[in-house]
Amino acid sequence: MSLFREPDFERACSVMRGDEVLPAAFTPFANAFEREFIARPLAVGLEVIGPGSSFPRLGVRVWIEGEAVIRHLRSTGEDYVDFMPRLRSVAPGMFAGTTEPAGLAPHVRHGGIDAAELARLPQQVSFWDFEPAAAERVRAALSADDLQRWGESLGLGDELWCVTSMGGAAPVVFVQTAEHAAQLRGPETLEAWRDSYFELARANDEFNCLSPGSCRVEVDSRETFETRYGSSWYEYWH
């Protein structure tokens, strides 16, 4: 699942831009969360998980600015390994204690549930960092032509077959033979290509979430694609 395609991620983007604020139904939770964990939630997505099953529940997806949390941890000296269990143990009860079913019902994705039904559902709260999804969206914004032109700039000449990617995944530079691909997998070459790819992708980085360290480039060959995957992109990516 590409999280950057989720509607609640788009709402988080709008909050980051200053175009929207969290709906009032979530304000008490956001205030309590910010007091406890410093970072204020950017968006909250609600969806009934398993409707019609023997164990339906309300999925609550809370988007937070992960870098703000990390900055806070650095300033306090709290270890991330200790922080995450505390977040997962405290915040679900915080959400349940600061929200009302009548306020949540209008915000449930796909709708069709009233406050009384919502009150009976157990909640499944999860937390999502904004930055990785934003970086994935930046990478996915590059077109096939963008990637091919970038590949042609790497100096491979006729040895370049193609450059491709699936969604926001790392781009794969395909050369003609498996032997040549193995030669290109050295750290010096891949780091240079990573930095070059970062310069290409950052033009779409609205929220400055991308860094050279968050990028990578992979190498493969037409030979391997044809012999191992039967020339099937579906088989290759799945």
Helix-then-strand count for the chain, H and E = 12, 6
Name the band, by pLDDT with cuts 50, 70 and 90, for residue 111. low
For residue range 162-204, list pLDDT tens digits in order: 999 998 889 999 999 999 999 999 999 999 999 999 999 999 9
* pLDDT over threshold 90, residue 110: no
Q: What's the CATH architecture for 142-237?
A: 2-Layer Sandwich (3.30)
Give pairs for 156-163: CB < 8 Å, separation 24+: 161/221, 161/222, 162/222
Name the band, by pLDDT with cuts 50, 70 and 90, for residue 67. confident
Residue 238 to residue 235: CA distance in whole angstroms: 5
The domains of the chain are located at 3-135, 142-237
Residue 46 CB burial class (10 angstroms; 0-12, 13-18, ≥19): buried
* pLDDT over threshold 70, residue 1: no
Q: Give the global pTM.
A: 0.83
For residue range 120-132, list pLDDT tens digits in order: 999 999 999 999 8
Average pLDDT, the chain: 92
Is residue 181 a contact partner of residue 219, using CB atoms and an 8 Å limit?
yes
Q: Go through the chain and tell me how many residues it has.
A: 238
Q: Can you give 88-130 as a three-state secondary structure string?
A: HHHHHHHHHHHCCHHHHHHHECCCCCCHHHHHHCCEEEEEEEH
Question: Computed from CA positions of residues 129, 122, 26, 71, in that sequence, does the dihedral angle turn out positive or negative?
Answer: negative
Residue 89 to residue 4: CA distance in whole angstroms: 26
Is residue 219 a contact partner of residue 173, using CB atoms and an 8 Å limit?
yes
